[in-house]
Amino acid sequence: MKEKIQVISAQAKLEITNADSVKILTDLKVKYLGKSGMVTELLKGMRDLPKEERPNAGKLVNDLRAEIEGFFAEKESVLKEIELQKTLETEAIDITLPGKTNKLGALHPITLIKNELIDAFTGMGFEIFEGPEIEEDYYNFKMLNIPEDHPARDMQDTFYVNDNILLRTQTSAGQVRVMLDKKPPIKILSPGKVYRSDDDASHSPIFHQMEGLVVDKGITLCDLKGTLDEFCKIMFGKDAKTRLRPSYFPFTEPSVEVDVSCSECHGKGCKLCKGTGWIEILGAGIVNKKVLEGCGIDSEVYSGYAFGMGIERIAILKYKIPDIRLFYENDLRFLKQFK
């Protein structure tokens, strides 16, 4: 019995000392101290001993048990320490490393300018109206005094869906919708996408316009000029000036092209304004009586003005952008500059 115990003790000591993981140690615990482990087996074997030997043998086995438990306790604390060190090493945080930042999105420059325009005009009492992008010929052309086969249709290369339906070429289509729907006084601003079959450095098949329409008693070209003067000051600075040049649109009579003084050279003439000191920013005019009458508004009582500007054009001027296509490529290096 004594020898057996010594052998087990030596074996346990060796195996426990060599165990290098908690898993191996747990297995060893089962092997020695488990329900049918070696020490437990010894205890069970006591039954076969003569009665007088039992107390002594019992003490020996209990001592062995205590001894082995001691081996385990010692090894366990060593292994725990090692494992703690390992986790400390692998989970170490280097607080000198730069943090991971979340990339924040930002508004597109067209949206920024659109919002600025909306702010400027709503500040002057305009209300927003948004018409459909897929539009009927009726609103986009016919009711704007551009009948079928009229040469003015060539001013805008149109994407047709079928004979009657098209992608609107101008936000002016919204004018008709508003006038058919509302009695004067009318004072609306209509921003949105428009489509034309055009594609080069200054034209895109899809671009944005902002339409303005005011109909009331006694509206004249002076009201238009005053409103646009104020708008240009808000948009381009206090000393911005405007001038009107005669032009032609079928739905306004008289029609004008509106220029703003060049913000780069302040009128002296430079590359941006092609030496003229002025930059064209929009088309406008007094709403053609035919258009008013077509929408059921008495042109003897009411008159109105309308204007339409390209949002890209304003953004190009304000941010000095060389190519309209930059707006649609969504290159982050470009977009980041407008944060």
Residues that bind ligand PHE (CB under 6 A): 170, 172, 211, 249, 252, 283-285, 306-308
Q: Which is nearer to ligand PHE, 198 or 264 (CB)?
A: 198
Q: Which of 286, 283, 116 is nearest to 211 (CA)?
A: 283
How far apart CA 243 and CA 225 sit, in angstroms, is: 8
Q: How far is CA 202 from CA 199, 274, 276, 339, in A?
A: 8, 15, 19, 24
Name the minimum Å distance from CB 218 to ligand PHE: 19
Q: Which is nearer to ligand PHE, 236 or 249 (CB)?
A: 249
Q: Is the dihedral of CA 312, 171, 218, 184 positive or negative?
A: negative
Omega before residue 254 within 30° of 0, cis = yes
Name the minimum Å distance from CB 105 to ligand PHE: 31
Q: Which is nearer to ligand PHE, 277 or 308 (CB)?
A: 308
Name the minimum Å distance from CB 170 to ligand PHE: 4
Q: How far is CA 160 from CA 3, 157, 208, in A?
A: 104, 10, 18
Omega before residue 55 within 30° of 0, cis = no
Name the minimum Å distance from CB 249 to ligand PHE: 4
Q: Which is nearer to ligand PHE, 212 or 277 (CB)?
A: 212
Q: Is the dihedral of CA 212, 161, 207, 105 positive or negative?
A: positive
Q: Is 45 helix (H, G, I), strand (E, B) or coil?
A: helix
Q: Which is nearer to ligand PHE, 68 or 146 (CB)?
A: 146
Name the minimum Å distance from CB 96 to ligand PHE: 58
